Chains A and B, each alone.
Chain A
Amino acid sequence: MEKRVLITGNEAIGAGAIAAGCDCYFGYPITPQNELTAYMSRWMPAEGRTFIQAESEISAINMVYGAAATGARAMTSSSSPGISLKQEGISYLAGSELPAVIANVQRGGPGLGNIEPAQSDYFQAVKGGGHGDYHVIVLAPASVQEMYDLTMLAFDLADRWRNPALVLADGQLGQMMEPLIPHKMSRKRNLPPKDWALTGAKNREKRVVKSFYPAIGELEEYNKHLASKYRKIQRRETRAEEYFTEDAEVVLVAFGTVARLCREVVRKARQKGLPVGLLRPVTLWPFPTRRFEKLASRAKAFLVVEMNAGQMVEDVRLATSCRLPVSFYGRMGGGVPEIAEIYRRTRKLLMAVSIKAAS
């Protein structure tokens, strides 16, 4: 049997980052992600890597900007209010086409909110978050194992596409403990060489890292280049998990913590012979639009469940071009949907679509 360790989700992000060869981690205290910063303080120096508790989230993301420019694997993490502070830096990273990994262990908002789990930073994560036309790659783990695995993947995706990648977790995933299999980094990753990194221009032409294109028309050309890169990412890097969707009439859609609850709802429904399935986007950007297109041709309704006021539901409606009804159920401010309530709503929706089909 493979070696397993019992570990919190926050620590699993740290372990995944170290396993992925993260050279520099820059943190700042904020609940509920403090275990990650403490973990990095303990283990990064032992690996000969660099850990710094920066003086602010703004400082931390700019340390990432500097480290990433030199070709290092750099990372920062925070929770919702701190991620808001980092947005300027993330925009510059995207604008300069630099790889970096950011983890957001979400808590309730807006403002100071609270320290309970939430998914209310979905819009901020998938629509860009800062200023300018850009996207970050957003990965949504749903277990401690995925906190580890997707953090590793985030480093590879960031390097492959020279783009920031964000791990979007929440306080519940960060705080809970589960057994983790600490995989080693795969050798067959085939990443492009970092021939843009600032490593000192000895015996070669100088390289320039910038996001400033002041000449007329220059920025538009650059924006076109970025847009074309984002289209390629959308084609190649979409990830989703399907659970009993083949014959499902009602498809639940959820990510992260809520997907775990919905999986249980599907299991219960299937025990009673009800045609219910789950589609769980693993990449929130790029959004798994094609999976929705396919499902929309055979399912009868979607029920999107989130820990927010209804954010991903907008992308589901876009992805299905509103061809079939898309319902929403959400809890906010640290409220976690209960399995019984999701089940009740699922059954109600199933009955409604069956009646509609019969009439």
Chain B
Amino acid sequence: MVTTEQAVKQPVTPEEYKSGLKPVWCPGCGDYGVLNALCQVYHRLGLKPEETMIFSGIGCSSRITGYLKSYGFNSVHGRALPIAMGAKLARPKLNVIAAGGDGDAFSIGIGHFPHACRRNIDMTYIVMDNHIYGLTKGQLSPTSPHDMLTTTSKFGSIETPINPILLAIGCQATFVARAFSGNIKHMVDVITKGIEHRGFSFIQVLSPCVTFIGKDQFLIIKNLLHYLEDDPDYDPSHRTSAFHVADEKDRISVGVIYQKKKPTYMDQLEILRQNAASKKKKKLADLVEIFRP
């Protein structure tokens, strides 16, 4: 039996935030980088495992919930966001993180994404984007590039991929960022900022699939990287600039692409509750009297 004391023992090193379960990911998978980065973020922010809950859907990357010492909920395919939102609304003091892959987020689960963005519930969504379905062995993903060959696009994809960053900014997300699995130190900074942000933060992590796309992905992406932090002229509060960065074709910008201060859902809900309480002139007993035949 696990005693309460054991269950809530505060990790003192990043490594101690790992659950000890051996990941099923292929050797070289980008998702290891995300797991290591998250442990460092937890450590840097001193997050208590018992006050932190990570939600995922289905897919290779969604296994991440099992590898962290915080509470984990490996839920339904595509439904990480509504389940995470439900938990956050019921327990606003929990640190809520949702995580998963591009299929989970932008294929079956895409219907939930715009609503999570526009509601601005204080939580963080990390999408490990590898442009392919790995768990089911290499099918087309909604972020697969045009022309990509997969087991379900045997003659090359004829569809236009979704641009998650454009989508998030367009759907009024208040924090939109991109990181790369090949640079953990930078990813730690980005995810830390995302968790610290008050409101919905969306982070796309380019996390290559070495099995179904190839190891060279790490090098290809690395050579295209552009660090927004190094650009003194870039202003992440400027929405038009953010759209521009999101639409780049010749390079891949990483870092905080867009950030805006805005009341969170819970902030507004608190005001709404107070308004509703003050306008509640009639008590239930009075109403019974009014409608008495």
List A residues at the B interface (Cβ < 8 Å).
27-31, 34, 37-38, 41-42, 45, 51, 53, 55-58, 81, 112
Set of chain A residues within 8 Å of B153, measured between Cβ atoms: 41, 53
Is B152 touching A41 in the complex (CB atoms < 8 A)? Answer: yes
With contacts A30-B136, A53-B139 taken as known, whether A38 is within 8 angstroms of B108 at the C-beta atoms is no
Q: Is the CB of B137 within 8 A of A34?
A: yes
- On whether the beta carbons of A53 and B77 are closer than 8 Å, the reply is no
B133 within 8 A of partner (CB): yes
Q: How long is the Cα–Cα vector from A28 to B140 in the complex, in angstroms?
A: 10
Q: How far is the CB of B103 from chain A (nearest CB, A)?
A: 8
Which residues in B have their C-beta under 8 angstroms from that of A29? 103, 133, 136, 139, 152
Interface membership of B291, Cβ < 8 A: no
B-side contacts of A27, CB under 8 Å: 152
Instruction: Give every chain A residue within 8 A of B142 (Cβ-Cβ).
Output: 55
B108 surroundings in chain A (CB, below 8 A): 28, 55-58
- Are the CB atoms of A34 and B77 closer together than 8 Å? no
Complex CA–CA separation, A41 to B151 (angstroms): 7
Q: Which residue of B lies closest to A45 (CB)?
A: B155
- Contacting residues, chain A, for B155 (C-beta < 8 A): 45
Q: State whether B58 touches A34 (Cβ < 8 A).
A: no
**Looking at chain B, what size class is its interface with the partner chain?**
20 to 34
Q: Which of B107-162 contact A (CB under 8 A)?
A: 107-108, 110, 133, 135-137, 139-140, 142, 151-155
Chain B interface helix/strand/loop/mixed: loop
Q: Indicate if the CB atoms of A34 and B78 lie closer than 8 Å.
A: no
CB distance from B286 to the nearest CB of A (A): 38
Least Cβ–Cβ distance between A200 and chain B, in angstroms: 26
> A29-B139, A31-B136, A53-B139 given as contacts; is B78 within 8 A of A38 (CB)?
no
Contacts of A51 in B (CB 8 A): 152
Q: Are A53 and B152 in contact (CB under 8 A)?
A: yes
Q: How far is the CA of A58 from the CA of B76 in the complex (A)?
A: 14
Q: How far is the CA of A58 from the CA of B213 in the complex (A)?
A: 28
Hey, which chain A residues are within 8 Å of B110, CB to CB?
55
Closest to A111 in B: B76
B107–A37 CB distance below 8 A = no
Complex CA distance for A41 and B133, rounded to whole angstroms: 15
Q: Kindly list the 8 A-B residue pairs having the minimum CB-CB distance in the complex, ordered from nearest.
A: A56-B108, A29-B136, A38-B151, A29-B139, A41-B152, A53-B152, A55-B107, A42-B154
A53: B residues at CB distance < 8 A: 139-140, 152-153
| CB-CB under 8 A for A56 and B107, given A29-B136, A30-B136, A37-B139 | yes
Q: How far is the CB of B104 from chain A (nearest CB, A)?
A: 11
Taking each of A28, A29, A31, A53, which has the highest tally of chain B beta carbons within 10 Å of its own beta carbon? Answer: A29
Q: Is the CB of B152 within 8 A of A112?
A: no
Residues of A within 8 A of B58 (CB): 112
A38 and B152 contact, Cβ closer than 8 Å, known pairs A55-B142, A56-B107, A112-B58: yes
Residues of A contacting B77 with CB < 8 Å? 81
Docked complex Cα distance between A49 and B153 (Å) = 14
B76 CB to closest chain A CB, in angstroms?
8
Task: Kindly provide the distance from the CB of A344 to the nearest chain B CB, expressed in whole angstroms.
Answer: 37
Report the nearest B residue to A44, measured CB to CB: B154
For A59, give the chain B residue with the smallest CB separation: B108
| Nearest neighbor of A53 in chain B, beta-carbon distance | B152
Which A residues are in CB contact (< 8 Å) with B152? 27, 29, 37-38, 41, 51, 53
Name the B residues within 8 Å of A41 (CB-CB). Answer: 151-154
Instruction: Give the CA-CA distance A43 to B102 in the complex, in Å.
Output: 27
Closest to B136 in A: A29
* Chain B: minimal CB distance from A87 (Å): 15
- With A29-B139, A37-B152 already in contact, 18 other A-B pairs whose C-beta atoms are closer than 8 Å: A27-B152, A29-B103, A30-B136, A31-B137, A34-B136, A34-B139, A37-B139, A38-B139, A38-B152, A38-B154, A41-B151, A41-B152, A41-B153, A41-B154, A45-B155, A55-B107, A112-B74, A112-B76
How long is the Cα–Cα vector from A187 to B67 in the complex, in angstroms? 58
Residue in chain A with minimal CB distance to B153: A41
Complex Cα–Cα for A30 and B59 (A): 10
